[in-house]
């Protein structure tokens, strides 16, 4: 089975902050999962905001939330708008 991502890919994801609120972030994939695994290591570039379950922004983040974190495959999607900033 071919993986959806590879090291170096630009991704977007959602991280649950509370059961009703999630944080959207942009990141670069820095490590792929072990064979058969589904946990990716990513380095965050930018946090886009925290959203309540009805889609309304409740927090705006000015700074990077975490430099490096592990996320599951289902929490990631392809980065749709790459602005060229490193």
In a domain, 18, yes or no: yes
- The CB density around residue 25, as the number of other CB atoms within 10 Å, is 25
In a domain, 3, yes or no: no
Report which of residues 68 and 45 the model is more confident about: 68
Rounded to whole angstroms, the Cα distance separating 53 from 63 reads: 23
Main-chain dihedrals φ then ψ at residue 66, nearest 5 degrees: -150, 135
In a domain, 85, yes or no: no
In a domain, 63, yes or no: yes
Question: What is the per-residue pLDDT across 29-66, written as a single tens digit (0 to 9) for each?
Answer: 999 888 878 888 988 866 666 666 666 555 544 555 55
In a domain, 4, yes or no: no
Give the model's pLDDT for residue 86: 43
Identify the domain containing residue 27 by its residue range.
10-78
- The CB density around residue 27, as the number of other CB atoms within 10 Å, is 26
Rounded to whole angstroms, the Cα distance separating 25 from 64 reads: 9
In a domain, 1, yes or no: no
């Amino acid at each position: 089975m071919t993986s959806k991502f590879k090291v170096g890919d630009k991704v977007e994801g959602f991280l649950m902050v509370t059961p009703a609120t999630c944080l959207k972030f942009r990141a670069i994939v820095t490590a792929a999962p072990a064979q058969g695994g589904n946990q990716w290591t990513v380095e965050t570039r930018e946090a886009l905001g925290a959203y309540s379950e009805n889609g309304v922004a409740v927090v705006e983040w000015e700074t990077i939330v975490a430099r490096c974190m592990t996320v599951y495959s289902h929490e990631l999607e392809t980065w749709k708008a790459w602005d060229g900033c490193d």
